[in-house]
Structure 1
């Protein structure tokens, strides 16, 4: 075990530190495929889990989506969709970024995000402050996506911690319940002010 016994706040990315998908992005990608937004959205999410979990490449994912829509899966279309998709998940909440970075004075801070590997590469390039955190666990790189217990167990091992040392913060209740099932504390994120109160109570007094 690590000699650093400070508690760990393990953050989700999208919906907590980063914004949810850019409005209009699915409509834009649907138009590129010459299909309805509803049909595109169904195919987009139905084929997403193995891509998020690193069991499928971006090319294979988009090929599956296009085939589900009865559209040709040519390289140009796949790359246009891939880049539009990455851009649609690129926004951060600057106030939360400042809060998370400041929290490192009081706790170890890590990240567990469901994000494909190529998205993670782009996000890291655009947000270099992420490299200052104590650990980054991206589903596309670790081979497990929330709420799979393996994703949380990976973080425990990587951080050389006990589950009880960790507070997991996510905007999805099912992911928080999954973290609690492996022994972590958990908090469903609603706002930064609410979160700050929870973390202040959870961390030992100075």
Structure 2
């Protein structure tokens, strides 16, 4: 069936999320590799995404790894330099769907305190019809409960939802509930999917 709403992940779909690249530039590749080997940055971010206090969790992680404390604190003090830039073509697709009055939702693993920082930097993050932010919900992808919560809130059947995300596990969890899914590996592929689904014309999808 033709989707009735499109659901966007945010990190690596609408804005780039590559902290390793940021620290490569900041501290050099060797120290960056050593830091990510010693500090489980992704576990820290998962705790934040699940609802932990952003500044407090970063500070605790920095204190636990004093040799890398300066770098770890960049997540708190330079968030908007790390979680960027916008993925321009994806943003154009979002805007084209909105111009067509097709409902657009966000479903993102994102913290309560750092999401507003990114939304202030990128105003398109405030333009969703519904924004499902994991830190607010106390649930994170790919927990089936977060997809069930989206369904209950939006009132649309699973097969009416088209969800795009860059992670296989998140896509698989949505597909298991009957959602239409698109594994995001570039905006060009998403553009083709939106055209093939009858939501945008080729011109609108450029």
**TM-score normalised to the size of structure 1?**
0.80
Report the counterpart of residue 97 of structure 1 in structure 2.
91
Match of 2:32 among 27, 34, 37: 37
Note the C-alpha offset of 1:95: 2.1
Contact in 2 for aligned 1:22/1:89 (Cα 8 Å): yes
Report the counterpart of residue 57 of structure 1 in structure 2.
53
What is the correspondence of 1:77-88 to structure 2 with a 5 Å cutoff? 80-88=74-82
How far apart, in 1, do the equivalents of 2:6 and 2:68 lie? 44
Matched pairs, number: 196
Cα distance change on mapping 1:110 and 1:39 into 2, 3 Å? same
Cα distance change on mapping 1:28 and 1:64 into 2, 3 Å? farther
**TM-score normalised to the size of structure 2?**
0.80
What is the correspondence of 1:1-206 to structure 2 with a 5 Å cutoff? 7-21=4-18, 24-27=21-24, 36-42=31-37, 43=39, 44-54=41-51, 56-70=52-66, 80-104=74-98, 105=100, 107-203=102-198
How far apart, in 1, do the equivalents of 2:68 and 2:188 lie? 48
How far apart, in 2, do the equivalents of 1:82 and 1:205 lie? 38
Q: Runs of 5+ in structure 2 lacking a partner?
A: 202-206
Instruction: Quote the RMSD (CA, aligned, Å).
Output: 3.0
1:8-53: per-residue Cα shift (whole Å, max 9, x none)? Answer: 110111111111226642347779xxx9423432422233221111
1:145-169: per-residue Cα shift (whole Å, max 9, x none)? Answer: 1111122222222222111110110
Q: Runs of 5+ in structure 1 lacking a partner?
A: none
Q: What SS class does the counterpart of residue 78 from structure 2 fall into?
A: helix
